[in-house]
Structures are given as structure tokens and as C-alpha cells.
Amino acid sequence: MHSREDLANGFRRLGIAPGDTLMAHASIRAVGEVAGGPDQIHLALKDALTADGTLMMYASCPRYYDEVGRGHLRPDEERELVEKLPAFDPDTARSERDNGALVELLRTYPGAMVNPHVARFVVWGRHAGYLISHQPWNYAFGHDSALERLTGLDGRILLLGCDHDTVTFLHYAEHIVDIGDKRVARYQVPVVENGRRVWREMEEFETSDQGAHPNWPDRFFARLLDTYLAQTDNRGGRVGAAQCFLLDCRGLLGLALSVMTDVAADPRAVTRLRR
């Protein structure tokens, strides 16, 4: 059984330092049993970061809030949602389940903040307000987003026992990379305007498993990430029972933009990446 102190020391050994700005992806199950429950994981992260540090996780929104109009649902399903789905409330809506339970524990713990958008980030710490100070309604993962400000703060990414194909930061690379033929997803979100629920149109470069470009291979994000880890000789370390990796946003972004540009021009360029 792991303690909060054990986990905090593990994060420090991994390289997390006071004052870091960190985006975390985590699997509670991978960490193993923790005395005091899984809240101790984000508390241990905060211990390692200290009050001068900043923690961010991606929460997104519950099912259906960003699906009407995408073309994934049957017409009768969309009609029912338009009739029945409440307006999105960023302060109370649960995090998307696929993003793991830790982000929801962080979101509901005192001191956390969120941005008012279905592309919703949970933030805590010194730069929390700055990270979510503005959120573009359209193309919410791109320019002037929390991910761009994370990069500007020399942010780092923590992978805590999680699937390497789930790194939200790489949607930022997809949004800003200068290539043609990117897939655009258009959909509608129920929000409150002037006291009434209305359906507001939104668009982004495709963030589903379909991929933002027709040339993206299966598990593209995982291959980008694993290639970057290999190039930087990053072997990670253990925190609790979880295999973890800590990496720099700027370095990963540089590789991703280069590879995305090449693969968009010629899908055979994917041979640059690890399998």
C-alpha cells in the first residue's frame, strides 16, 4: 500500500520540481492501492509541485454534450437530445469518464478551477488563472488556448500509468500544424444565453479516433510519444506501481509538427516513428 508521502517522493525522483507547470494524464488503477484513497495521488503531486507550481488535467464534458451534429448519432437520437439535454454547466458537469477518475477528483477538490467550455481543463496552483484566462470557442485546442499557454510556460507532461495514445496536448499540434486537408468537426452545444438554453454551433479540427488528417495511422499519438521518449532516452520511472514518464511540451511539439507535416505530405513518412 502506498502513502501520500511515498507518491510525492516518487514524483520528485521522476523529476517533478517545485514551481513546475504540469499537465497530467493518470490511471488510478495503475498506481495501486493508496492509503487514504485516490485523492492522495493529486495531493502528492501538489506536494511535489509546491504552492509555486501549477497542475492541469483535461476533463472535457459528459457524454453527448459535444456530439450533436457530428454525424455519429442517428437522427432520432439527435432529436431526443435537442429536446432533453440540459445546458452545459462547466462548474458542475462531471468529467468525461474516458479521461480517468483522477481528473474528476481534482475538479471537485477545493482550490480547483475550470474554464467555461466543453473542451474543459481543470487547473490548480500559481498559474491556474492564467492558463484558463481565455478560451477560444472554436478550435479550442489551438491558438490562444490553455495548451498554448502551457507551452509558453515551459510546461511539462506527466504520464502516470496511462495509455500513450491519450495525450491531449497533441491535439494542440494538430490544430496549429500548417498542412492542408485537415478534417473539421462541426457540432452544437447546449448553453445558457440570456437565461435560456440555446444550441450554439462550434467547430474544431477532428479530435476523435478518426484523426485530424486522412493520413494519420492507427495510434498515431502513441507512436509520436514513444518516438520522442526514445529520442530523448527517457526511460521513465515508477510512482507507486505505475510506470511513469515526464517530458517537455516544447520538445514533443517540435517532433509532432515535423512528423505531422511529413505524414500529411506522404503517409510513408510514418516509418520515422516507433511502433
Instruction: Output the pLDDT for position 14.
Output: 97
Q: How far is CA 37 from the centre of its chain?
A: 23
Assess if residue 80 is contained within a domain: yes
Assess if residue 33 is contained within a domain: yes
Q: Which three cell numbers stand for residue 19?
A: 514551481
Assess if residue 44 is contained within a domain: yes
Would you write out the chain's pLDDT as a tens digit for each of its 275 residues? 999 999 999 999 999 999 999 999 999 999 999 999 999 999 999 999 999 999 999 999 999 999 999 988 999 999 999 999 999 999 999 999 888 899 999 999 999 999 999 999 999 999 999 999 998 999 999 999 999 999 999 999 999 999 999 999 999 999 999 999 999 999 999 999 999 999 999 999 999 888 999 999 999 999 999 999 999 999 999 999 999 999 999 999 999 999 999 999 999 999 988 77
Assess if residue 271 is contained within a domain: no
Helical (H) or strand (E) element with 234: none
Place of cell 454547466: 89
Angle between helices 39-49 and 4-14 (to 10 degrees): 50
Q: Which three cell numbers stand for residue 162?
A: 496511462
Assess if residue 23 is contained within a domain: yes
Instruction: Output the pLDDT for position 175.
Output: 97
Instruction: Output the pLDDT for position 236.
Output: 95
φ, ψ for residue 71 (rounded to 5)?
Answer: 95, 5
How many structural domains does the chain have? Answer: 1
Task: Decide: 144 and 226 in contact? Cβ < 8 Å.
Answer: no
**Residue span of the structural domain in which 51 resides:** 4-204+233-248
Beta strands in 1-94 (DSSP E): 21-26, 54-58
Mean pLDDT over the full length of the chain: 95
pTM, 2 dp: 0.94
DSSP 141: T
Place of cell 507535416: 261
Assess if residue 19 is contained within a domain: yes
The CA–CA distances, whole Å, from 237 to 74, 161, 243, 254, 259 equal 45, 10, 6, 24, 27
Assess if residue 264 is contained within a domain: no
Instruction: Output the pLDDT for position 100.
Output: 87
Assess if residue 59 is contained within a domain: yes
